Amino acid sequence: MNVLVVGSGGREHAIIWALKRSPLLSRVYCAPGNAGIASIAECVPFQVNQFEELTQFAIDQAVDLVVIGPEDPLCAGIVDHIEARGLKVFGPNGKAAIIEGSKVFTKQLLRDYSIPTAAYESFDRYEDALAYLQGHATPIVIKADGLAAGKGVIIAQTVAEAEEALKQIMVDKVFGDNGQQVVIEEFLSGQEMSILSFVDGETVRPMMPSQDHKQIFDGDKGPNTGGMGTYSPVPHIPQAMIDEAIETIIKPTAAAMVKEGRPFRGVLFAGLMMTANGPKTIEFNARFGDPETQVVLSLLDSDLLEVFLAVVEGRLAECELRWSSDAAVCVVMASPGYPGSYPKALPIQGLDEVQQAVVFHAGSALKDGQVVTNGGRVLGVTARGANIAEARKLAYADVERIRFEGAQYRTDIAAKALV
């Protein structure tokens, strides 16, 4: 089979790496890809928002399956566009991708179907949102309604911080039209966990749970990022609690989307908080997470291409996933200055010295034959081991072998799992 993967990050690199293990695969293309992806796939120079060019390329190259990586094209309806030309696409259509595209929609869905989540209210008028803050305890969570590249959620420690967040979103419009509405919700405390699931309507096949590290600095300090590292499994969270999350949150959400006339097909990403009162929903995403994908697909023993086809063809119920008993740890190496402004085109050394890990490229490019930095999060150094401690040791050993000016990374990824 010929496959086209759309995207340019660590998630897409990990998807292609996993697809390459399938005996069904003949050729794999990536649009637009990056320097790491270019070593295992044929990169083509189309951007993720060039729907017509991507569709025509897929037709011309006899592509059997198109896989959509990022959320922006999913929410903009790329699946509808490509399917209308008779091609198979892995990913939810525009009506289903709203589960990530609108936090107001998702919170209302959870409320309507009594699915556990934080208490909240949504607002489309700044003055009303401001008035609601008075008399509510802090910390409190402010969320822009639409897509905001992972930066639209602010955990305000004081009322003054919450007021400033509202001003930035609704008055200053730092996220443009994506901030026309906001959700204000209670702050949940506990252990965060991510469960990605393959879904084809009501059938749900959960993947291995993982835990991300959002803050830039050790000890969960500093501003939020797109994710500084992940690990899987999460041995310190009881299996009974993981099962409860699947039965009370993920499966009912898939069923609710069917009832709403928005059946979801693709990867449903549940961001969860394991609270003292059981699992609660933080958010849903309509695609593989980054860097969760790097660890989860490292542990998948099933043929990923077969699973993708089962989802697209509506026969996921026939599919049982097989998982390794190993553990995986991913440490993200980021550019100096990230998550603020950062330089690009810094030469990366030591990639050929890596011994055990797989290095997934998130923000890299080729310049005069040299791999250079080209984003905030640059590399996801991912290792497998018999347990978390071993995988962690192997990942960090290879992080030490890779060098670029000002490289920053957390030194405590997966440490929570060792306590």
Note the maximum CA span of the chain: 61
What does the pLDDT read at residue 419?
73
What does the pLDDT read at residue 149?
72
Q: pLDDT tens digit string along 1-13?
A: 999 999 999 999 9
- Enumerate the β-bridge partners of residue 232: 328
Q: Strands 191-200 and 265-275, how do they pair?
A: antiparallel
- The chain-wide mean pLDDT, for the chain, equals 96
Q: Retrieve residue 192's tokens.
A: 């965060």
Q: pLDDT tens digit string along 249-270?
A: 999 999 999 999 999 999 999 9
What does the pLDDT read at residue 204?
98
The vertex-234 CA angle with 336 and 400, nearest 5°, equals: 35
> Taking each helix axis from N to C terminus, what angle separates 304-312 and 10-19, rounded to the nearest 10 degrees?
100
Radius of gyration of the chain (CA): 21
User: Cα separation of 4 and 146, whole Å?
Assistant: 27
For residue 360, the number of C-alpha atoms closer than 13 Å in the C-beta half-sphere is: 31
What does the pLDDT read at residue 107?
96
What does the pLDDT read at residue 153?
87
Amino acid at 252: P
Average pLDDT for runs of 10 along the chain of length 419: 98 98 98 97 98 98 98 97 98 98 96 96 94 91 86 89 94 91 94 96 97 94 92 95 97 98 98 95 96 98 98 96 98 97 97 98 96 97 98 98 98 93
pTM of the model: 0.96
Which residues lie closer than 8 Å to 240 by C-beta, 6 or more apart?
A: none
For residue 6, the number of C-alpha atoms closer than 13 Å in the C-beta half-sphere is: 30
Q: Which domains does the chain show, CATH number per domain?
A: 2-93 (3.40.50.20), 119-186 (3.30.1490.20)
Which element (helix H / strand E) includes 127? Answer: helix 126-133
User: Cα separation of 91 and 71, whole Å?
Assistant: 10
Amino acid at 372: V
